[in-house]
Chain A
Amino acid sequence: MNYTISPEFIPIIDAIEVHLIGKRETIALSMATFFAGGHLLLEDIPGVGKTTLAKYLSVVLGLDFGRIQFTSDMLPSDILGINYYNQKEGSFVFKKGPIFSSFLLADEINRSMPKTQSALLQAMEEGVVTIDSVAYTLPQPFFVIGTQNPHEEVGTFVLPNSQLDRFMCSFGIGYPDKNSERIILQGIKDESTGKIKCMLTNEEIKMYMKKASMVTLSDMLLDFLQDIITYTRESGVFEYGLSMRGALALVSMVKSWAMMQGRTYATADDVQMVTSLVCAHRLVFKEGKTSPKRIYDEIFSTIHSDT
């Protein structure tokens, strides 16, 4: 896929790439998801750098990092927080859970019980946590990276479709290519570049988010987008079509990806780039296995953009 990342984001990607060699595209797409105001679901086998990506991304963005390692015996209060009785003061005090951070890594989200999963996902959608009928607002921006192991692994609870819908994008990291792998195996690490620091201020983040939302979608592009959305619903190859939330996610992601390339307008290329990422966890083929590549091929072999 052809794209040129805007120069202002190159140093950031460079900085993270030191720790995640050969994954520039993944880094860029993660940032795009962040600027689009969505949450990201990283779905891959253990040990390809999911956690690394999340960790360094949070540092670069300068957000306060929280992490939850999901296990099968976790309870919702482990995420959200709890009201406990403070004997000294003689009253109930609310202890905030790890969810009260701007950048949350929900590691191996499918290992916990559905009850716990939904506690997180509701907070993700609404940005508000209600405990004992008191509403607590989550910090802004609020970005969740969920990681998930493929379903074949033993001891996992499959996330229902309705909950997956709350993630804007989903992709894997994959194995590095040969050259990158060699560099990693050689273990050459420049000490000076290893130190990573915050590279964006809060204002800059807000500015980029605003820029992403202001990206122009021309009529022709909207036609193209609507063709795609309609196709997922009416072609009959998928179990369900794209929901309205899914459609909105697609639009936000297209805009954000255009912004990442320094444009004020989105093109059909952007749509081709992000569609399979937005749809991968939302669409399920009626027959055969679902994969982002197959979704891409299915949609774009039928829906063409003349432009």
Chain B
Amino acid sequence: MKFLVTLQNTKFSSLVLLDLAYVVVLAPLLLMLKVPMLVFVVLVVAILVFSSKPAKSWLIVVIFMLGGIAIYLSLYGAFSFRGLSRLKLFLELLIYVLIVVVSMQRLTREINIYLLLSPFFFLALSLFFFYGMLMLIYVIFEVFFLLWMILSHRMQGDILEGFRASMVMFMYSLPWVVVLFIFFPRISFEHASYGFKGETVQRMGHDGTMYLDNKALLVPSDRIVMEVGFEKKIPASHLLYFRGSMLYIDKKNHWEPIPSFVKRKEGLVEHKVNNEKTHYSVTLYPTQKKWLYLLDIPTQAAKESKLDRDLISTVKRKIREPMHYAAISTLRSKFYDTLDDYTLKISTAVHVNHNPKTLEEVLKIQEIHHTEAKRANALVKFFQSQSLTYTLKPEALDINHTTDSFLFDTKKGYCVHFASSFVTMARMLGIPARLVTGYKGDISNGLKNYLVIKERDAHAWAELYIDKHWVRYETTSTASHIETQAHSNQTKDTQNSMSSPLMKKINLYLMYAKYQVETWILYYSNIRQKQLLGYLKENPKFIFIFISSFITLVLVTLIFTVYFKRKVYDNKALESVQAILKILQERGFIRKKNETLHQYFLRYCEENVDKEAGTRLITQLDDSYEKLVYADKPTNLALKDFKKLVKKATKFKTY
């Protein structure tokens, strides 16, 4: 409280207010400044702190030169004419120059228009570097703070009054901001590249090729690859297969897709769909790859992407910025297709001699079973009988005989090894088969309609062509053991941060909230607007919820406004007596300029002796009013009584 009192008595000069504004807007930018520039900023601050006089012109020249050196050192290596085509480098340079210029002007201790405007430039520029949830909150704070500082400046540095006024202004404007926000969608920075190049952040976990040896890209991390929002509830875990890429060619130690120069018949194979369609939207973080991930089986291509005949969807350019797309799929494990010659050839190609032990088994099955379906079932049974172990830390396989090595020697592996062996054996049996890689969603990472796909969800499975349908085989489910020990070893690093299921749950809730805000606030666009309108059409109930929550917001802001509004009367008795004064004034009994209320009431009584009831009431009012305002510690009860009396007096007609 003492602090508040001091604050009340302190009047800040314009320079101090400006400095405070700079501290707030520069705070996020300090996180991105390079060391030389930071040193420069510290130097300037030190000069400002230790010298209270305006800097001499030689010092400003020195600062200018130091600033130049700091910029040079900060951008050393990154700077080239070509480098400037990267948006962020360009903006970084802009910020550095602005900092140097502002420092020079600030050292003169004179305020000019550029010094006043620069906080807003800094605020705008910082938005290019930080655009997450936290920054959204911070920007709201910054806008409020700058408003506060401006108003305080206008109020001769009285920051408490400034706070009150800016709070009222802020609260008045909040509902309007919401209205404007809903009706005027805007393009987010994320989607606009302004002709600059993107940055290189990448998500791993799924690659175009699939290695079986120690090169295998196994990243069991919790980094988020994509966030999926379903229109309805999340489907069951066994339906959450996100197709990534399709691999056909066995290269001993790895599998490859069909080379890009091979031209196959284009187009989606039409098939009857009876299943329910699932609508969902995906936020895909930069992967530096071209694949979009769609749930099995996608019914149409997502925006800007192409769906090939293997139902793999790709975009033209590598994904360098977070991408948002809506998609529709029917959740099935098989789909109708006709094979062209090339596909048939490539999906049955197999090196029979590489895996002699496997060949023996294949021959056994071929003898017993004669249809493809039965052979496939036998294959699954064979896998189950091999007592294979699922582990994330398998032993090294013999690269020349990978299938033999896995099925008969090590018997340990993860999805890649299971799927690869399964496909190889299927092909030996004469069934066209291929490998699919992608992600398999884990429902424990979901909440309501929101699902997170992490790098650890990367997965591979097999597809066999049986009876003119491609059928999905979850090959890892044939494992007899799951080595959890190895599994938990792998996740040790992440377990520290989420030691208990409760923490995991809380974390998930936080991410869900973040996702909702991002979807509906940060990435609110005309598409979202249309989506919202469509949703409103279908759910009239939601209009009611929407309007009522808007009204609640208005009410809340109103409460804040009233709370922070400057009170006209400090004293409650004085406030309530105004009703009577108004009535008396309306009756033509005007209060004189320097009359106290007591004198006013007395004068009334003297001038209106004939109106006995009126004067009696006024005298009574005068007495209790005087006690309330001047006497020692009036009780709440007395105030209540007084208010009753005022009410009674206002109802009295013949004054």
16 interchain pairs, CB-CB under 8 A: A216-B631, A220-B574, A220-B629, A221-B630, A265-B627, A265-B632, A267-B596, A267-B630, A269-B596, A272-B594, A301-B594, A304-B594, A306-B574, A306-B597, A307-B571, A307-B574
Number of interface residues of A (CB under 8 A): 20
Residues of A within 8 A of B571 (CB): 220, 307
Chain B residues with a Cβ under 8 A of chain A? 569-571, 574, 593-594, 596-599, 602, 626-627, 629-632
Q: A118 near B: Cβ within 8 Å?
A: no
In contact, A306 and B569 (Cβ under 8 angstroms) = yes
Given A2-B602, A220-B571, A267-B626: A307 touches B631 (CB 8 Å cut-off): no
In contact, B596 and A307 (Cβ under 8 angstroms) = yes
Report the bound CA distance from A132 to B104 in whole Å. 69
Residues of A within 8 A of B629 (CB): 218, 220-221, 267, 307
B11 to chain A, nearest CB (A): 15
Report the bound CA distance from A219 to B571 in whole Å. 9
In contact, A220 and B630 (Cβ under 8 angstroms) = yes
Report the bound CA distance from A216 to B631 in whole Å. 6
Residues of A within 8 A of B574 (CB): 220, 306-307
| Cβ-neighbour of B630 out of A218, A223, A300 (below 8 A) | A218
Q: A29 near B: Cβ within 8 Å?
A: no
Contact with B along A230-270 (1 / 0, CB 8 A): 00000000000000000000000000000000001111110
- Which of the listed residues B593, B597, B627, B630 has the most CB atoms from chain A within 10 Å of its own CB? B630
In contact, A267 and B598 (Cβ under 8 angstroms) = yes
B593 to chain A, nearest CB (A): 7
Report the bound CA distance from A228 to B301 in whole Å. 80
- Which of the listed residues A221, A269, A300 has the most CB atoms from chain B within 10 Å of its own CB? A269
Report the bound CA distance from A207 to B598 in whole Å. 28
Residues of B within 8 A of A272 (CB): 594, 596
Can you name the residue of chain A whose Cβ is closest to the Cβ of B577?
A307
Can you name the residue of chain B whose Cβ is closest to the Cβ of A304?
B594
How many inter-chain residue pairs (CB < 8 Å) link A and B? 55
Report the bound CA distance from A264 to B633 in whole Å. 12
Given A265-B631, A266-B630, A267-B630: A220 touches B570 (CB 8 Å cut-off): yes
In contact, A304 and B632 (Cβ under 8 angstroms) = no
B629 to chain A, nearest CB (A): 5
Report the bound CA distance from A264 to B597 in whole Å. 19
In contact, A307 and B632 (Cβ under 8 angstroms) = no
Residues of B within 8 A of A304 (CB): 593-594
Residues of A within 8 A of B569 (CB): 306
In contact, A268 and B598 (Cβ under 8 angstroms) = yes
Which of chain A's residues 90-126 have a Cβ closer than 8 Å to chain B?
none
In contact, B631 and A264 (Cβ under 8 angstroms) = yes
Q: A305 near B: Cβ within 8 Å?
A: yes
Residues of B within 8 A of A220 (CB): 570-571, 574, 629-630
Given contacts A219-B570, A269-B596, 20 further A-B contacts (CB under 8 A): A2-B602, A216-B630, A220-B570, A220-B629, A221-B629, A223-B570, A264-B631, A265-B630, A265-B631, A266-B630, A267-B596, A267-B629, A268-B596, A268-B597, A272-B594, A301-B593, A306-B569, A306-B574, A306-B597, A307-B574
Residues of A within 8 A of B630 (CB): 216, 218, 220-221, 265-267, 307
Contact with B along A267-297 (1 / 0, CB 8 A): 1110010000000000000000000000000
In contact, A2 and B598 (Cβ under 8 angstroms) = yes
Report the bound CA distance from A264 to B630 in whole Å. 9
Given A2-B598, A307-B571: A218 touches B593 (CB 8 Å cut-off): no
Residues of A within 8 A of B598 (CB): 2, 267-269
Which 5 residue pairs of A and B lie closest in terms of their CB atoms, listed nearest first? A300-B594, A265-B630, A216-B632, A268-B596, A265-B631
Can you name the residue of chain A whose Cβ is closest to the Cβ of B626?
A267
